[in-house]
Structure 1
Amino acid sequence: MDAAAAAVSRLTGRPVTATRRLSGALTEAVLDGDVVVVKRGHAPGATAAEAAGLRWLAEPAVVPIPAVHGYDEHWLVLDRIDTERADERTAERLGRDLAALHAAGAPAFGSPPPDAPPGAWIGLAPMENTPAPDWPEWYAEHRVRPYVRLARDRGTLTAGEAGAFDRVCDRLPELSGPPEPPSRLHGDLWHGNVLWARDGAYLIDPAAHGGHRETDLAMLRLFDCPGLDRILGAYTETAPLSPGWRERIELHQLFPLLVHTVLFGRLYATEALAIARSWS
């Protein structure tokens, strides 16, 4: 029995009858006819953080989330989702589901899911969840400036370029629109983390935390999620957004673009820098 199969059997208490490797980190396993996916964690605490995030997003029962069947320090076992092509009906449902998920709320901006470990992750990048009452200051200090510092330390951004992000951060109180309460965010909602299925669009691989709802929507737009117009239309019909939200999308995209700058380099730095200069 390979390591993935042994982990599934140990965490579920059920025998594994077959496995199939899906990627470097993912393996499909068959348990007496049921099929699950087991994911290998990339760092200490990553599986616990993901499990806590999935359970927190599933708690309001308003958006489809794969069930967590077990986890340990190295492995996470989840439902396998049978995927289909995105269609207009499912896209509109996702918009309404996201509005309901965000409305479920969070204790504060930056609040982690209950029972989450101290360290959080967005993809392969570390992420700090530190609660704060004020979104502009929290976003500047915990979502923009930390990744600017990392990019500068690695030579991806120069000191002069980093200054453009500081100027945007200083202006966030006047740029961020009317105050809103903390929303329950997926936190890494690019289209690769949306699985389209017959019974709805499932959300996977969260970087869940309390944040501004426009951030999730900005991430969907960043990499051109299928059905985006239908998603946004249904969302705004269900939960209207504050005036100017379309213009503010770029501000919310600074965070994922800076994460990609840290992980993948100069291409994303150039895009993030263009946004920072246009708002500073």
Structure 2
Amino acid sequence: MPTFRKERPGAPRGFFACEAAGLRWLDEAHGAPAVTVLEVDEQHLLLDALAEVTPTAQAALAFGRGLATTHDAGAPAFGAPPPGWTGDGFFGPLDDPLPMPAAAEPGWGRFLARARIEPLLELPRARGAFPAHTRAVVEAVVARLLDGDFDDGDPPARLHGDLWSGNVMWTADGATLIDPAAHGGHRETDLAFLALFGCPWLDRIVEGYQQIHPLRPGWRQRTALHQLYPLLVHTVLFGGGYAARTDAAARAALALPGVTAGHSRGRSR
């Protein structure tokens, strides 16, 4: 059977074990399949090789249904790592991943603020990455997250966590998940990641998703809120035009109405 070896000498300790645990956790949901882990150690991960094909509308519809099933399998808390892994995870490219703090938050907003946005802004390499006006808007979004403005009562979903289109491999058997940053999070986050850099047949993916788990009204408008963290990461890692996109996403998020247990309410500030 063909295999694929993912390796990096000197990788952060536990990097590949964390990824392997995430792949197994996602696959155990019996929704969207994850690539099979064959072997793992500190410097490599051995996986089944996947042969890519051109995605189709029907495959996208099936992937959406599978992704909703994976999310519905749930997680113990917002920020919970996959079973078989303890401690923080990793987010970003293989050659330069950033730490992704684990958490056990009961509410999504506090998790996003405390375990994602604030730790990222405090990294030494984040200093100077954002103009002062952008940092101020992001901090205003953090304040609303901590106030619970965007908590809708949805329980923690079992997320891929880095679901941009490059981490979906389209094969003859359908879409397969690779390269996760798996954790307990909000289901809208994975969908927002798919939209971030474009994804083939995204509307059909969403259609399939909603056949299994209808999304709460207003989810499209909340995409910017869910894209804020990956845009912050891209600004820290790559700079360039990502700072402007981060600023736009933060301003769009700040303009959102709040929600309480699924019911919209006016902005508190």
TM (normalized to structure 2)?
0.87
1:87 aligns with 2:56: yes
The code of the aligned residue for 1:260 comes to H
Larger RCO of the pair (alpha carbons < 8 Å, separation 6+): 2
Match of 1:96 among 49, 65, 86: 65
Distance 1:221 1:111, change over 3 A: same
Deviation at 1:229, TM superposition (A): 0.6
Deviation at 1:121, TM superposition (A): 0.7
Deviation at 1:277, TM superposition (A): 2.4
Alignment of 1:63-212 (within 5 A): 63-123=32-92, 124-150=97-123, 153-172=126-145, 173=147, 175-176=149-150, 178-212=152-186
Computing the radius of gyration from Cα coordinates, the structure with the larger value is 1
1:47 aligns with 2:20: no
Match of 1:249 among 223, 230, 253: 223
Aligned-residue sequence identity (percent) comes to 48
The code of the aligned residue for 2:187 comes to R
Q: Which stretch of structure 1 is more off in the superposition, 188-197 or 65-74?
A: 65-74
| CA deviation vs aligned residue, 1:7-27 (integer Å, no higher than 9, x gap) | xxxxxxxxxxxxxxxxxxxxx
The code of the aligned residue for 2:203 comes to D
Deviation at 1:158, TM superposition (A): 3.5
Distance 1:270 1:48, change over 3 A: same
Deviation at 1:119, TM superposition (A): 3.0
User: Which sections of structure 1, spanning at least 5 residues, go unmatched?
Assistant: 1-33
- Looking at structure 1, the residues matched to 241 and 120 of structure 2 have their Cα atoms a distance apart, in angstroms, of 15
Deviation at 1:206, TM superposition (A): 0.2
Deviation at 1:207, TM superposition (A): 0.0
Q: Which stretch of structure 1 is more off in the superposition, 130-139 or 97-106?
A: 130-139
User: Which sections of structure 2, spanning at least 5 residues, go unmatched?
Assistant: 255-269
- Looking at structure 1, the residues matched to 164 and 117 of structure 2 have their Cα atoms a distance apart, in angstroms, of 18
| CA deviation vs aligned residue, 1:178-212 (integer Å, no higher than 9, x gap) | 22000000000000000001111000000000000
Deviation at 1:149, TM superposition (A): 2.9
Give the structure with the higher percent helix: 1
Q: Is the 8 A contact 2:31 2:68 kept in 1?
A: no
Q: Is the 8 A contact 2:31 2:66 kept in 1?
A: yes
Q: Which stretch of structure 1 is more off in the superposition, 269-278 or 206-215?
A: 269-278
Residue 247 of structure 1 aligns to a residue whose secondary structure is: coil
Deviation at 1:152, TM superposition (A): 7.2
Corresponding position of 1:23: none
Superposed CA RMSD:
1.6
The code of the aligned residue for 2:57 comes to E
Alignment of 1:25-40 (within 5 A): 34-40=1-7
TM (normalized to structure 1)?
0.84
